[in-house]
Amino acid sequence: STDEGDALWWTTMFMEMASSQQHWLVVNNRVLQEQLGHQMPSVALPVVPSLALYALPFGRYVGSEANHSRALLLGRNYLQRSFVLRILRSFLDANPSYPLEFIAKQNAKDGFMSFRDYPTFVGVVFFPWDFFLLTFYELYARGIPLFIPSRVHMFAVQQIGMFADHISEVFEIYSPLGNLTAVQSGRHSAFWPVTGATFEQFFYWYDVCDYGLWP
C-alpha cells in the first residue's frame, strides 16, 4: 500500500524527471496525458501512439490461417458482471447448428493465451475495461478482425465493468497536487466516482480515445 507521504514523494520525483533534459517521457494516448495533467498540473507529456511490441514478431493476421468456426470474447469485468455470456449461451443452446463457437476469456482462471493464438480465431469481440489497453493496440496492429461496442453501448460497458484507472476514489491518495473531480479549463475530469461517469464526462473522453478515433 502507498500512503499520502509516499505518493507526494513519488509525484515530486516524477515531476523532476519529466522536467529534466536527461529524460524523455511520453504517454501513449490523450486520456492518459490528461490524467497526468490533473494529478501533476505542471507536467505536459507528448503523446506517442503505442507500438505492437508483443505481436509484431508473429506477423500480420492471415484470414486463411484462422479457424472460421471460433470467435474470441475478451471482456474481464464486463463479462463477469453483465448478462452477455448468459444470453449468448442461451442463444447457442437454442441454436445448436449456429456456425460459431465463442471462447470467453474473463481472467487468468480461463487460461493463458499467447499473442500467437489470437490469429487462430476468425475475430475478437472486445469489451474494454479501460481507455488505454495494450491488448487493443496489439490486436489492432496485427489486423485481426476486432469488434468493439458501439459508442452508446460503451457507456454501459464502463458503468458495469468499471474503468478502474478512472475511479477518483482510487486515485485521490495518489494525487496530492491535483484536483481530480473538478472540471478544469472547460474540460471534464478524466476521473469519476466509483458509481460511474456522467454521459457528458464519459463521451468527452471516449471521443478523444483511440476506440472512438480509429476506424
The DSSP secondary-structure symbol of 72 reads E
Rounded Cα–Cα distance for residues 43 and 36 (Å): 7
The DSSP secondary-structure symbol of 180 reads S
The amino acid present at 11, given as its one-letter code, is T
Q: What is the tens place of the pLDDT at every residue in 95-147? A: 999 999 999 887 766 777 777 788 888 999 999 988 888 888 888 888 889 99
- Supply 79's cell numbers: 463479462
Q: Walk across the sheet containing 101-105 and list its strands.
A: 101-105, 70-74, 124-126, 146-147
C-alpha pair distances (Å), 97 with each of 118, 161, 191: 24, 31, 45
> So what's the pLDDT on residue 144?
86
- Per-residue pLDDT tens listing for the chain (215 residues): 455 566 677 778 888 888 888 888 888 888 888 877 777 777 788 888 877 777 666 667 777 777 789 999 998 888 888 888 899 999 999 999 999 999 988 776 677 777 778 888 899 999 998 888 888 888 888 888 999 999 889 998 888 877 877 776 666 544 544 444 444 445 677 777 777 788 888 888 888 888 888 87
- Supply 97's cell numbers: 447448428
Specify whether the CB–CB gap between 132 and 29 falls below 8 A.
yes
Rounded Cα–Cα distance for residues 150 and 121 (Å): 22
